[in-house]
Amino acid sequence: MGEFVRVESAGGIATIRLDRPKMNAINIQMQAELGDAARQVDADPGIRAVVIYGGERSFAAGVDIKEMAHMGYAEMSAHSGGLQACFTAVAKIGKPVIAAVTGYALGGGCELALCADFRVAGEGAKLGQPEIALGIIPGAGGTQRLPRLIGPARAKDLVFTGRHVDAAESLAIGLVDKVVPDADVYTASLALAERFADAPPLALRAAKQAIDHGLETDLDTGLEIERLHFSALFATEDAHTGLKAFTEKTKPTFTGR
């Protein structure tokens, strides 16, 4: 349990709760706590899906600019590795991850949302990568995860201009997957997470890794990644449970073994 990031779980669903007044600016301490939280939920076999939530007011306004303002090249060169590492820890959670986006998800906040598998946004949400207005560029995955999600031209538009994107446009360009009333963001995100609570966790992890790693390489290599994950699942109890349940027309209970 960190000062600014805590993990709450119930019914196989974990919530990584960001809570740094006023707008969840992600400082160095919060980055470390976020990485710890990501590794915690990833390692817990009782957790089947994860929601990242910044509260009713704001998802995360970005990385703490005041903390970075005094840094020179040498300091930032050392610090940026840790910044990327904590976000990568979120991206590598081997379970479905939903970002519940309320208010602002800008800069580092948008980059954190990009680490999730799905993004549910409130109608009043604003997303974007405004770093260009500070004379810098995104440094926690924005130039890499954003074009992989929405395409290079749209990503360049957001990164080059630094403009904020409202919920409707975010949905239209594929930056978010669902838009709901602001008051319903967390509930809708939990409902999405609950769809995976009874799913086979080893198969979900394999599917996520196959998709994510396959996107980083050529098709032939991606197909081989898929084949290896597919074959490996036949060594699990869950696969045999699912196959047997299908043939016997019963409902399987997956244990993660």
**Whole-angstrom Cα distance, residue 205 to residue 185?**
25
* Tokens of residue 214, six digits: 């396959």
pTM: 0.94
**Whole-angstrom Cα distance, residue 235 to residue 166?**
46
> 98 forms bridges with which residues in the sheet?
51, 118
Cβ proximity of 62 and 108 under 8 Å: yes
Q: Which residues span the domain enclosing 124?
A: 5-194
Q: What is the count of structural domains for the chain?
A: 2
- Per-residue model confidence as pLDDT tens for the chain (257 residues): 789 999 999 999 999 999 999 899 999 999 999 999 999 999 999 999 999 999 999 999 988 888 888 889 998 888 888 889 999 999 999 999 999 999 999 999 999 999 999 999 999 999 999 999 999 999 999 999 999 999 999 999 999 999 999 999 999 999 999 999 999 999 999 999 999 999 999 999 999 999 999 999 999 999 999 999 999 999 999 999 999 999 999 999 999 89
Residue 74 lies in a domain: yes
Instruction: Return all residues near 183 (Cβ < 8 A) that are at least 6 apart.
Output: 56, 122
Among 154, 171, 194, the domain-final residue is 194
**Whole-angstrom Cα distance, residue 148 to residue 151?**
6
Residue 217 lies in a domain: yes
Q: For the domain that residue 117 is a member of, what is the CATH number?
A: 3.90.226.10
Residue 150 lies in a domain: yes
**Whole-angstrom Cα distance, residue 52 to residue 108?**
14
| Helix/strand/coil for 69 | coil
Q: Are residues 73 and 176 in the same domain?
A: yes
Structure-token match 């979120």, residue found: 90
